[in-house]
Chains A and B, each alone.
Chain A
Amino acid sequence: MIKHLLILGGGTAGTIMANNLRRRLPASDWHMTVVDRSDKHLYQPGLLFLPFGKYEESDIIRKTCDFIPEGVTFTQAEVDQIIPENHEVTIKGGSTLKYDLLIIATGCRTAPEETAGMLGPKWRVNVHDFYTLDGSRALREKLKSFTGGRVVVHINEMPIKCPVAPLEFTFLADTFFREQGVRDKVTLTYVTPLSGAFTKPKASKKLGHLLGDKGIELVTDFVVEKVDQENNKLVCFDGREVPYDLLITTPTNMGDEAVRRSALGDDLDFIATQKHTLQSVEYKDVFIIGDATNLPASKAGSVAHFESETLADNILLHIAGKPLKEEFDGHSNCFIESGNGKALLIDFNYEYEPHEGPFPFPFGPMRLLEESRVNHWGKLAFRHIYWNVLLRGWPLPGISRQKKKPADA
Chain B
Amino acid sequence: MKKTIAGTEIDVNEEGYLADATQWNEAIAAAIATEEGIGALTDAHMKVVIYLREQQAKGASLTIRSMGKSGVVTTKELYDLFPGGPLKKSSKIAGIPKPVGCI
Contact = CB atoms under 8 A, between A and B. Distances in A.
B63 A158 contact: yes
Contacts of B53: none
A239 B78 CA distance: 13
Contacts, number: 61
B69 interface: yes
Contacts of A223: 64, 75, 79, 86
A194 interface: yes
A294 B61 contact: yes
A200 interface: yes
A199 B85 contact: no
| Among B64, B65, B103: residue with most chain A CB under 10 A | B103
Contacts of B85: 195, 221
Contacts of A157: 63-65
| Among A193, A204, A252, A296: residue with most chain B CB under 10 A | A193
Interface string A150-173: 000000011000011000000000
A200 B15 CA distance: 11
B100 interface: yes
Interface residues of B, number: 21
Q: Do most interface residues of chain B lie in helix, strand or loop, or is the interface mixed? A: loop
| Among A200, A223, A268, A294: residue with most chain B CB under 10 A | A223
A221 B103 contact: no
A200 B101 contact: yes
A87 to B, nearest CB: 27
B83 interface: yes
Interface string B16-46: 0000000000000000000000000000000
B65 A163 contact: no
A221 B65 contact: no
Interface string A348-375: 1000011000000000000000000000
Nearest to A354: B103
A296 B100 contact: yes
A164 B102 contact: yes
Contacts of A346: 103
Contacts of B61: 294, 296
B100 A268 contact: no
B88 A193 contact: no
A238 interface: yes
A408 to B, nearest CB: 15
Contact of A353 (B69, B75, B76, B103): B103
Contacts of A267: 65-66, 69
Interface in A115-131: none
Contact of B101 (A158, A207, A237): A158
B9 interface: no
A298 B101 CA distance: 9
Interface in B59-73: 61, 63-66, 69
A30 interface: no
Interface in A326-351: 346, 348
B101 A199 contact: yes
Given A221-B84, A223-B86, A237-B76, 8 more contacts: A157-B64, A163-B101, A199-B103, A200-B101, A201-B15, A237-B78, A268-B65, A296-B61
17 contacts: A158-B63, A163-B103, A194-B101, A195-B101, A198-B101, A201-B15, A223-B86, A237-B76, A237-B78, A237-B86, A252-B65, A296-B61, A296-B100, A298-B102, A346-B103, A353-B103, A354-B103
Interface of A: 157-158, 163-164, 193-196, 198-201, 203-204, 207, 221, 223, 225, 237-238, 252, 266-268, 294, 296, 298, 346, 348, 353-354
